[in-house]
Chain A
């Protein structure tokens, strides 16, 4: 198990990947990913395009199954689990594109996200409306008529509805205006308390304001990890793996 810079783990990791390899067709995308994510905080996956960040999340979710290696959620082996089983185990996933169902209304999109439509889910809706008031306005409209930014908000808001213990979010800030990104940062920080978040983000501003820990992926495996506050000042590392001056 990797040792964190500046501290040792006091709690069991909520998600553990050991030696995970994933192929997409003949492409060897993940080439031995080892990762341990601790609960109750936001972790960011960083790295260049094609490094394997999205694939890591999809592999955890079971959408692109791992060919080798192990994945444990809260100690339970989910390597061979089907996507719906992973979801039912408490993992939420917001994919990079096409998360929202265009032909359903906003309301129906939310109902879809509620595995059990009960009072708890609807109470969470109240919180969601506080965080994303625009969604109230389009409640009955088909999700397809929303603007790009609104669709993205819907996708993320929808993820909050299910009471997940782990939330995997893939590039939420893509295509969003800076104001909206800040809104997003606030809402993510709001739930980071009781939901563990793993974020894939190219936008370093967002990554550094939401995440408390990071993993840098390159060429299909983890090349660096640690606390976000340390990374912010490490210009050499940022330049080398993220291309940020």
Chain B
């Protein structure tokens, strides 16, 4: 860099948009409402649970939102990647348990078990993503109806293969020893694995944002989300980038699934569909194509779900669907999506 460009470090920055700030303050305030009905200690527990759930939802949603924002592809098979991550994690943990690492492991072994199962889930998810993108998705760019139909079909196929390999029943997921139980901080009971979920989620968010904001690839992806044609005309092979992004999104969803399995301590072949509905809600509320949007809305959905589940269990999922419907009505491109 020449001295001229170096001196630009202090360039002009746009002023803060007060309306946006006000909006976020109000939105934040709404999350304090449940305190009216819920005892503060329980509120804290629910908040942690909500944030943890939000983090795990974010893992699936982030891939979905970038895939839609960049490739304009509606990937309804994303839930299947999630399920695969969970089942792969199940097998890995089962194998490690044979070594005594899981149920009877030390802290180090517990962390390693989780790390290994996440890593394998990541790879398997990425491979599935690669296969699905190359074989199917690349043939149907631009046709939303076909994408909806085909990705649903692909999801069906992937779920059936799970049933072939692992059987159609629910399985119990082993939780590594160091993550069982909870911390007790001033009467607030915090499940240990939830903390792990929050750590992983925050790490993924930071990582993804770092790639998007600091690297050349991130610049290309962000530009592509806004205007694919210009990026192509500037000389970038957007198809290869698409494949990579799709595979990365699938890999992250698989990690989310693996974590979710441990979180819920059980897995079943239908978990992908359930997760997909949540992920769609998150992505629509947050805005297609916006990572930060998904992050914030994932938190929102997780919190809303946990608060409402405590107060009126039957309405828990319904409330989120309601929020999504409202957003679709007044601001269909979501909180941070592009119009």
Contacts and interface: CB of A to CB of B under 8 A. Distances in A.
Contact of B222 (A104, A125, A139): A104
Interface residues of A, number: 36
Contact of A129 (B4, B220, B222, B226): B4
A101 B11 contact: no
B238 A141 contact: no
B149 interface: no
Contacts of A4: none
B5 interface: yes
A131 to B, nearest CB: 13
Which of B227, B230, B235 has most A Cβ within 10 Å? B235
Contact of B223 (A107, A112, A142, A162): A112
Contact of B12 (A63, A83, A102, A137): A137
A104 B5 CA distance: 18
A194 interface: no
A113 B8 contact: no
Contact of B216 (A83, A95, A117, A126): A117
Nearest to A123: B2
Residue among A61, A82, A84, A115 with most chain B CB within 10 A: A84
A84 B236 contact: yes
B220 A145 contact: no
Given A83-B229, A145-B14, A115 B219 contact: no
B237 interface: yes
Contacts of B233: 61, 63, 83-84, 87, 93, 95
Contacts of A83: 229, 232-233
A92 B319 CA distance: 51
Contacts of B13: 140-141
A128 B189 CA distance: 60
B8 A112 contact: no
A209 interface: no
Contacts of B11: 136-141
Given A123-B2, A126-B4, A103 B222 contact: yes
Interface string B16-41: 00000000000000000000000000
Given A125-B2, A126-B2, A141-B13, A101 B223 contact: yes
Given A95-B230, A112-B223, A141-B13, A122 B235 contact: no
B200 interface: no
A174 to B, nearest CB: 17
Contacts of B226: 101-104
Contact of A112 (B2, B4, B220, B225): B220
A138 B10 CA distance: 10
Contacts of A129: 4
B231 interface: yes
Interface of A: 61, 63, 82-84, 87-88, 93, 95, 98-99, 101-104, 107-108, 111-113, 115, 117, 122-123, 125-126, 129, 136-142, 145, 162
Complex A-B, nearest 10 residue pairs according to Cβ-Cβ distance, in ascending order: A87-B235, A140-B11, A139-B11, A83-B232, A139-B8, A101-B223, A93-B233, A88-B235, A84-B237, A108-B219
16 contacts: A61-B233, A82-B237, A83-B229, A84-B232, A102-B226, A103-B225, A104-B222, A104-B226, A112-B220, A112-B234, A113-B234, A115-B234, A115-B236, A126-B2, A137-B11, A138-B11
Given A83-B232, A88-B235, A108-B222, 11 more contacts: A82-B232, A82-B237, A84-B233, A84-B238, A99-B230, A103-B226, A103-B338, A112-B219, A122-B2, A140-B12, A141-B11
